[in-house]
Amino acid sequence: MRPVIAHNHYLLKRLSASAVIFFALQLLLRLAFLMRESANIAFDPEAWIQMFVMGIAFDVTAFSFLMLPYVLYLVLLPRRWHLGKTDAALTAACHLALIYALLFDVLAEWIFWDEFSVRFNFIAVDYLVYTHEVLANIWESYSVVGLLLAVTAITLGIFYYVRRMLLPDAASPVAGFSTRASHGALYLLIPVALFATLDLSRSEVSTNSYLNEITQNGVYSLFSAFRNNELNYAKFYLTAYDSEPLPAIRELLEEEEMGQRFVSNDPDDITRFVPGNGPEKHKNVVLVVMESMSAEYMERFGNHDALTPHLDALAKQSLFFSDLYATGTRTVRGLEAIALSIPPSPGQSIVKRPGNENLASIGFVFRDRGYDTKFIYGGYGYFDNMNYFFGNNGFDIVDRANFSADETTFANAWGLCDEDLFRKVIAEGNRSHAAHRPFMHLVMTTSNHRPYTFPAGRGDIPAEGGGRSAGVRYADYAVGKFLEDARKQPWFDDTVFLFIADHTAGSAGKNELDVSKYHIPLFIYAPSFIAPREVASLTSQIDVAPILLGLLDFTYISRFYGENVLEDPDEQAHAFISNYQKLGFIANDTLVILKPGKAHTEYRGGERVSTQNINPALLRETISFFAHAAGWKKHMARIDTRP
């Protein structure tokens, strides 16, 4: 009869090699991130200890889930096969795959951090869905073959050194099925218990966003993001604060002095009549959403690298908004804000959610007035569900599939170069003009995105290997060329051109929501009828539609949350920012943040405010805006915008 003294340790022995590899790699990755961001993370012993302790908790959770299949294998494998040749071969194969997967994860996380300065999140989930564009982008941006060969070589090296740990000594006792089953059940309690008690909010060990991200485990964060794609506002966020009632949403949107009035008596209905200041100007509109064009790239905001000479010149010729903020960190969030004039809601953008058809969009405002309305994109618009969203909210679709061979001179993983895109915009404008129809084009660029490749021969801009700065310079060049070509068109003098970024190049910062990382420019250029000047009022991406419609003197029925800051007093100005789970509201020098778990924080002048010193009135205003916008399916349904 076999001794049973070691039975209780059998599963632990079989998992020991996996554990050593997993936890060693996670520790090294965490240390590497710390070194990488050393300039952004002050040494705080208490916060660093919490970071490592909570990091281990996330690591244990991820490891316990990853190893469940192997534990199940050990439980179900007949006792006589344990430690035999078949067991050894299967275990070796499993560990080779595991080591390779873990090293690949480390590499992927490092590349992801290089782009976004965060652990895996909803963006990574999207990338798993849209594999064609993402894989092509990675192939064009990195030496993929070399990196994969390196991962393979390191995998084989690690396996060589741990191979003797994979199986206990052949003479080791193996417990019977009932014992192994009971041990497997006890093991199962680990991930179940941690899953029930641990969530990403536990990673907030500091006010430093970088440190909080490093605390997390990439595998855990990825599955957490997949599971929490859309968050129920009422369940996870504040819906009230102290005993005071929330301000009614109508009070926050009411602008009677401008002649606006609500059209119903329902206090929850934001539908209102918005009068123009004269006859409607049915000018053409070209609204260009520029990929990742942060304000910080411009000389106007202190950059001296001459990245944006055309945009800096355009700022002096335009109605230029110098204090405007993107609502989020993804293209679809920016498109949502611009098209729907709505604050961000927790989770994924409305562009990617089910039930997003026939909403009160800027497209329908123009279509109701006989405009040709088109969403023009140089890539394939199925990416991020853009074609479906715009096709069902007042726009016709023109994407890469609609470009002929002679309209294509250069393309990369994300789409056609900006010059090809802008030539198509002009062609579509000429088509509408020939048909004697005004047009409204919403255009999305792609060139200022990794791999930052574009046609050669554009001055001294390196077409390959120039990185982000080259991408910015080419995007700026393409705008200058576009306006030069547009001036030659018969419809130029009757057209309003808007240029705005979808988001900045990076949203991570020391604070949990760094306001400076959402700062983007807005240019409204129409030299024949809009005088150039700088507007320094605090402005949100959701204000673009009301501002544009106000400049055109449209009289319309609105369900927009944005405001025309050209007519509103500065003291009412506010902006919205977000990062999927955290919702930020900016007013004056104060930022209020709502977080899952019905939590909130406040920053004033960039410094965190103690709980007893928060501004309760501003917090209640923040809750009112976000709580109401979370009910977008009800409040933003399509209406006839003509009075």
**DSSP labels, 384-412:** GGHHHHHHTTT-EEE-GGG--GGG-S-EE
Q: In this predicted model, which residue has the larger pLDDT, 6 or 427? A: 427
pLDDT bin (cut points 50, 70, 90) of residue 10 is confident
pLDDT of residue 571: 57
Is the pLDDT reported for residue 481 higher than 70?
A: yes
Locate the domains of the chain by residue range: 7-227, 249-635
**d(C-alpha 509, C-alpha 580), whole Å:** 15
Is the pLDDT reported for residue 569 higher than 60?
A: no
**d(C-alpha 212, C-alpha 29), whole Å:** 14
Is the pLDDT reported for residue 639 higher than 50?
A: yes
Q: In this predicted model, which residue has the larger pLDDT, 639 or 130? A: 639
pLDDT of residue 211: 93
pLDDT averaged over every residue in the chain = 91
Strands 439-444 and 396-398: unpaired
Which one-letter DSSP state was computed for residue 347? B
pLDDT of residue 183: 82
Whether cis (ω within 30° of 0) applies to the bond prior to 451 is: yes
Which amino acid would we find at residue 173? Answer: P
Q: What is the mean pLDDT of residues 425-445?
A: 98
Is the pLDDT reported for residue 239 higher than 60?
A: yes
Domain at 249-635: CATH architecture? 3-Layer(aba) Sandwich (3.40)
pLDDT of residue 5: 34
**d(C-alpha 599, C-alpha 601), whole Å:** 7
Is the pLDDT reported for residue 66 higher than 50?
A: yes
For the beta carbon of residue 349, count every other beta carbon within 10 angstroms: 26
Is the pLDDT reported for residue 236 higher than 50?
A: yes
**d(C-alpha 430, C-alpha 495), whole Å:** 12
Residues with Cβ within 8 Å of 15's Cβ and at least 6 positions away in sequence, in order, are 67, 70, 71
pLDDT bin (cut points 50, 70, 90) of residue 510 is low
Q: In this predicted model, which residue has the larger pLDDT, 350 or 136? A: 350
Q: In this predicted model, which residue has the larger pLDDT, 15 or 227? A: 15
For the beta carbon of residue 6, count every other beta carbon within 10 angstroms: 16
**d(C-alpha 78, C-alpha 82), whole Å:** 7
**d(C-alpha 583, C-alpha 596), whole Å:** 9
Contact present, 390 and 359 (Cβ < 8 Å): no
Query: Residue 468: CA atoms inside 13 Å, Cβ hemisphere, count?
Result: 13
pLDDT tens digits, 611-637: 999 999 999 999 999 999 999 999 999
Which amino acid would we find at residue 272? Answer: R
**d(C-alpha 225, C-alpha 168), whole Å:** 37
Sign (positive or negative) of CA dihedral 503, 505, 506, 511: negative
Please report how the helices 85-116 and 218-227 are oriented relative to each other, as an axis angle in degrees rounded to 10. Answer: 80
pLDDT tens digits, 165-208: 888 776 677 878 888 888 888 888 888 888 788 888 889 898 88
Q: What is the mean pLDDT of residues 19-44?
A: 94
pLDDT of residue 4: 38
Contact present, 564 and 550 (Cβ < 8 Å): yes
Q: What is the mean pLDDT of residues 484-499?
A: 98
For the beta carbon of residue 567, count every other beta carbon within 10 angstroms: 13
Q: What is the mean pLDDT of residues 137-157?
A: 89
pLDDT of residue 121: 76
Match 């430093």 to its residue by tokens.
Answer: 208
* Nearest C-alpha neighbor of 63 from the set 101, 23, 13, 35: 23
Tokens of 253: 């949107």
Could you write out the three-class secondary structure of 259-288? Answer: CCEECCCCCCCCCEEECCCCCCCCCEEEEE
pLDDT tens digits, 324-337: 999 999 999 999 99
Q: What is the mean pLDDT of residues 29-50?
A: 93
pLDDT bin (cut points 50, 70, 90) of residue 247 is very high
Distances 152 to 107, 145, 265, 484, 523 between C-alpha atoms, Å: 12, 10, 67, 51, 49
pLDDT of residue 136: 79
User: What end-to-end distance do the CA atoms of the chain give, in Å?
Assistant: 91
pTM for this model (two decimals): 0.81
Is the pLDDT reported for residue 7 higher than 50?
A: no
pLDDT of residue 607: 92
Q: What are phi and psi of 290, to 5 degrees?
A: -95, 130
Q: What is the mean pLDDT of residues 388-417?
A: 96
- Angle, CA of 374, 377 and 378, to the nearest 5°: 145
pLDDT of residue 118: 82
pLDDT of residue 2: 40
Tokens of 539: 């402005």
pLDDT tens digits, 336-346: 999 999 999 99
Contact present, 576 and 584 (Cβ < 8 Å): yes
pLDDT of residue 85: 87
Contact present, 585 and 622 (Cβ < 8 Å): yes
User: Considering only 139-148, 223-232, 531-540, which range has the smallest mean pLDDT?
Assistant: 223-232
Which one-letter DSSP state was computed for residue 637? B
